[in-house]
């Protein structure tokens, strides 16, 4: 079965910058599963996956505009510490360079701490990989038809059904 609109695709990947060390490797955990043609996957990966099938292995290099986008210099903003997700409820000593999750109107979002104060932190809302050319080594594990529920929800569901 070919990867096309509304197919659920399971794949492993290794991510790096061209000629550099691996940044992420799904082989160390679980493969990624997504609903092809819906939002939630990098534009360049969606394009590269189209027409592939289970067993295919390939490498694709994505420019920033097909990956996590260009860096926006105006993407730094001040956030109250009360909006930072803290599941442990322990005091956190925020430091520049830390990745934290802030609660937004669109749901949780990962950001990078630029400057920390007592009640507020300045954060960079760019994705940490924004502005970078990225290489992906891909292995397509499985391609299946999406269920009507997955298509209606716009994303793949895990084993046993609805998982959100």
Tens digits of per-residue pLDDT, 38-85? 888 999 999 999 999 999 999 999 999 999 999 998 999 999 988 888
CATH (domain of 58): 3.10.50.40
When divided into structural domains, the chain yields a total of 2
CATH (domain of 103): 2.40.10
**SS3 annotation, the chain:** CECCCCEEEEEEEEEECCCCCEEEEHHHCCCEEEECCCCCCCHHHHHHHCCCECCCEEEEEECHHHCCCCCCCCCEEEEEHHHECCCCCCCCCCCCCCEEEEEECCEEEEEEEEEECCCEEEEECCCCCCCCCEEEEEEEEEEEECCHHHHHHCCCCECCECCC
Asked, for residue 43, whether it belongs to a domain, the answer is: yes
- pTM of the shown model: 0.80
| Residue pLDDT, tens place only, 94-135 | 999 999 998 888 778 889 999 999 899 999 999 889 999 999
Asked, for residue 62, whether it belongs to a domain, the answer is: yes
Position 159 scores a pLDDT of: 62
* Same domain assignment for residues 104 and 133: no
* Same domain assignment for residues 56 and 134: yes
* Same domain assignment for residues 90 and 48: no
What residues make up the domain containing 84? Answer: 76-124
| Residue that has been written with the tokens 């009507």 in this structure | 148
Asked, for residue 117, whether it belongs to a domain, the answer is: yes
Asked, for residue 20, whether it belongs to a domain, the answer is: yes
* Same domain assignment for residues 148 and 112: no
Asked, for residue 164, whether it belongs to a domain, the answer is: no
Position 161 scores a pLDDT of: 46
């Amino acid at each position: 079965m070919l990867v096309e609109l509304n197919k659920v695709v399971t794949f492993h990947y290794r991510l790096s910058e061209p000629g550099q060390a691996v940044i992420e490797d799904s082989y160390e955990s679980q493969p990624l599963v997504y609903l092809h043609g819906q939002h939630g996957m990098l534009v360049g990966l969606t394009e590269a996956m189209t027409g592939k099938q289970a067993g295919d292995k390939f490498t694709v290099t994505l420019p920033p505009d097909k990956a996590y986008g260009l860096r926006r210099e105006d993407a730094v903003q001040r956030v109250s510490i009360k909006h930072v997700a803290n599941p442990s409820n322990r005091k956190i000593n925020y430091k520049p360079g830390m990745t934290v999750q802030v609660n937004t109107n669109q749901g949780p979002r990962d950001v990078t701490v630029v400057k920390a104060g007592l009640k507020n932190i300045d954060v960079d809302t760019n994705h940490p990989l924004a502005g970078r050319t990225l290489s992906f080594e891909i292995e397509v594990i499985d391609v299946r038809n999406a269920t009507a529920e997955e298509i209606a929800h716009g994303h793949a569901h895990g084993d046993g059904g609805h998982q959100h």
